[in-house]
Each structure stands twice: as C-alpha cells, then as structure tokens.
Amino acid sequence: MTSFDLVINNARLRGHDGPAHLGITGGKISAISKEALSGGETIDAEGALVSTSFVDGHMHLCKVYTYRSFGDATIGEYGTGTMGGAMTGIELASKIKEKYHESWIYDNAKAAALNAIKHGVLHIQAFVDTDTKARLEGIKGVMRVRDELKDVIKIEVVAFPQDGLLRDPGAEEYVQEAMKLGADVVGGIPWIEYTDAQSQEHVTRMAKLAQKHGTRLAMLNDDAGDANLRTSEMLAVAALEFGLEGKVTSCHARAMALYPEPTFRRLAALAEQAQMGFITDPHTGPLHLRALELFDMGQAVGIGHDDIEDPYYPWGRYNMLEIAFLSAHILGANTRARMENLFDMITERASRAIGATPKKITEGAVADLLVHSHDDVHEVLNHHLPPKVVISRGKVVARSTSSTEFSLGG
Ligand SMILES: [Zn+2]
C-alpha cells in the first residue's frame, strides 16, 4: 500500500466530474485517484470543493488595523463619487506615518498575515510605505513577518514610495535602502506626481532600480477619476524598454474606467506586449479598472484585497472570497461563468498578474490546497466562509469550523 503524508478523500475539483481523492507526499500532490486513498493522516472533504490557495496581488500591509486610531477623514476624501479627492486623501493619510514604528507595524502585519492564512491566502504582494515620513519602519516590521512565516505563506514586500518621488525628495533613497535591506519588489505611484513629465520620470527611475536589482516592479497607477492619467501605459512602455517583460504589475488603475475606447484598447495591446498584470480592488472605490474585459482578452488580471481597516477602507478580514463576492456585485459578474472567472481572479490569474506560476491541482504540483465548506464555486463564494482546512506545502496550517445550534422551542 502506498503511504502518503496526507490524504484528502472525497474532494470535488473545479472542472472535474465525480469525487477525486488526493495523496500528498513531501509537500507535493503525489496522487490524484478516482478511488479513495489511505495510508497517512486523512481528511474527508465530504464532497466539498478543494481548490488551490488564494493569492492577494495588492495589500497595504503596513497600514492594516489603523482605522480606529485615525478615523474617517481620509475615507471621506478618497471615496468621493469620482475619486476627485483621492490626492487629498493620500495627503491626509500620510500624517499617520509620522507615528510609524516597526514594533506596532510588525504586530498589525502579523495579525493580518494570520488572518490571511486562516482564509486560505498563501501569497501576498505587500505594499509597504517607504518614504521620508514612513522611513524604513514599515519595511522592517513587514519583512520580519515575512521571514517568520516564510515556510507557510509567501509575502513579497514592495518598497512603495506612497507620496511620490519628485514630490517627496529623499523618498528614492529610502526605496534604494529598502531594496538593499532585502525588499522583494520595487514599487511606485507615478500618478501622484504633479506633471506628466514627472510621472514619466518616476516610472523611469523605478524601472531602472528594478532592473538593477533584478526584481519585479509593481506600481499603484492612475488612482483618480481623471481620464487623462496614463501611468499604466508608461509602466508597460518601461517594461519593454528596460527588459522587465512579465515583471510589472499595475494596481488600482481606476482611471481606465473613464478612458475612451481607443485609449483602452491601446493600453490593452501594450499590456499584452509587456506581459503586464493588473490588480483591481473594486470594493475600495467608486471606479475600477475594466477587469472583465481584460479577463476576456486573456490578460493577467487579479482582484486584490488592498486594505484592511485602514484610513482608506474601514472593512476587511483578509477574506478573498468576500472580496470576490463584493466584486461580483460591483462588476456585474453574477452568472456561473463569471463566478468561475472571479475565482480565477483570486487564484491563477492573480498569480500571473504578479509574475508567479499559477498553482495547480495536478500530480507533482506543490500542495497549497483549501478544503472548502461547500461543493461548488457558487456556494463557496456566496457563503465566503474560511476554508475548513488550509494546507500549505503539504501541511495542515489552519482549521476552521462554522456551526449553528438552533433552540426554537416546542
Ligand atoms: Zn492600494
């Protein structure tokens, strides 16, 4: 009899009829069988969906859980109907950074990472403010969480100059220092600069830095209700110019919602050439990038959580199913086919959007798996419960239960 480290029997897999039974050995899926398996710690999925783990391509991990200490001022500006006050919102939020300290950022980021694991998120692209106000406090705190949990969850730290480079002289040196300290990805927010020429300069400098360190480049682009913003386009062009094809991600990019059709199509074509990914976060603002259209073109587009209880967004539990559920309403993605697309946008498409190889349920694949409480994507999204079991690299790392006991009298 074959022996496994872990067995998941009676699983339902996306795109497969009938139950599947999975054997896991040495952190990898070693068998997928139509017959029940034995010989190892065994989980009975009881016919529930088993999927790959979730990916969050865009999270401000240094700001999580700061909402209660900061209040509503930023949200009022940032969330106005047309995102007209987005810049003012960012300026207000930057005040909190004067209080940045590694120790409390570590505590908050650790709590968020544990919530991520609980909800089956095993890969995060974490934006961390790196500028003259935040200094390197967030970078140090979040890198500590990254290193502590590295055997369970992949956290990629983005050195992110939230207040701009040209607007915030000295920020660039902090980003350079963060990369030397071991940050994983060069960040940027070119749209926040005062002129298009400065936005271009911002993109070029950060692309050169990513090229120098051999890393990816992830930017927060065009995050306001202004159809003239073009920093996604600048990022795609920079990828082609500096050999960063497949290594660039454009996040937010809300202005795309207002683009004339030719401008949108031009950007989509450039993104394909540059193999640029997009991460959207439609739940955090009134505008959002054209996620379903890009998805239908086959482009790498994922949904990001973006914030958890911070000055921009007061909600969030690190539950990507909840974010996909919200996105279903906002994007008008309520058919079964679209539900599958949404699920892809928190799994394989999200991986592609941040330059990672999509996880799979095939023999030989890394066993990063979730055992859900319901049997199909529709029900899993509808209830958005934490997975019953979260498996990282073949090991059970979290179990959750949900039950109700009725006392109705009689
Ligand atoms: Zn964001």
- For residue 58, the CA-to-ligand 1 centroid distance in Å is 6
Shared-domain flag, residues 208 and 312? yes
- For residue 92, the CA-to-ligand 1 centroid distance in Å is 15
Shared-domain flag, residues 311 and 342? yes
Q: Is residue 407 part of a domain?
A: no
Phi, psi for residue 292 in degrees, rounded to 5: -70, -35
Give the CATH number, domain containing residue 34: 2.30.40.10
- For residue 135, the CA-to-ligand 1 centroid distance in Å is 19
pLDDT of residue 80: 66
Q: Which residues of the chain have pLDDT under 50?
A: none
Shared-domain flag, residues 245 and 110? yes
- For residue 223, the CA-to-ligand 1 centroid distance in Å is 9
Q: Is residue 130 part of a domain?
A: yes
- For residue 312, the CA-to-ligand 1 centroid distance in Å is 9
pLDDT of residue 84: 73
- For residue 240, the CA-to-ligand 1 centroid distance in Å is 24
Sequence letter at residue 43:
I
pLDDT of residue 105: 97
Q: Which residues pair with 248 in a beta bridge?
A: 217
- For residue 304, the CA-to-ligand 1 centroid distance in Å is 8
Q: How many angstroms separate the CA atoms of 152 and 150, rounded?
A: 5
- For residue 277, the CA-to-ligand 1 centroid distance in Å is 15
- For residue 211, the CA-to-ligand 1 centroid distance in Å is 23
- For residue 251, the CA-to-ligand 1 centroid distance in Å is 7
Residues lining ion ligand 1 (Cβ < 5 A) are 306
Question: Quick one: which of 122, 114, 136, 123 has its CA closest to 64?
Answer: 114
Q: CB-based burial of residue 218 (10 Å sphere; 0-12 exposed, 13-18 middle, 19+ buried)?
A: buried
Pairing of strands 50-52, 369-371: antiparallel
Shared-domain flag, residues 299 and 263? yes
Q: Which 8-state DSSP code applies to residue 79?
A: T
- For residue 306, the CA-to-ligand 1 centroid distance in Å is 5
The domain of 11 spans: 6-52+361-399
- For residue 145, the CA-to-ligand 1 centroid distance in Å is 20
- For residue 289, the CA-to-ligand 1 centroid distance in Å is 13
286-345, pLDDT tens digit by residue? Answer: 999 999 999 999 999 999 999 999 989 999 999 999 999 999 999 999 999 999 999 999
Shared-domain flag, residues 249 and 368? no
- For residue 61, the CA-to-ligand 1 centroid distance in Å is 10
Q: What distance lies between CA 102 and its chain's CA centroid?
A: 22
- For residue 368, the CA-to-ligand 1 centroid distance in Å is 26
Q: Which residues of 308-345 are buried (b: 16+ CB within 10 A; e: fewer)?
A: bbbbbbeebbbbbbbbbbbbbeebebeeeebbbbbbbb
Shared-domain flag, residues 231 and 144? yes
191-214, pLDDT tens digit by residue? Answer: 999 999 999 999 999 999 999 999
Q: Is residue 298 part of a domain?
A: yes
pLDDT of residue 402: 87
Shared-domain flag, residues 45 and 142? no
Sequence letter at residue 14:
R
pLDDT of residue 73: 65
pTM of the model: 0.96
- For residue 307, the CA-to-ligand 1 centroid distance in Å is 7
Q: Is residue 409 part of a domain?
A: no
Give the CATH number, domain containing residue 62: 3.20.20.140
Question: Quick one: which of 78, 87, 88, 91 has its CA closest to 286?
Answer: 78
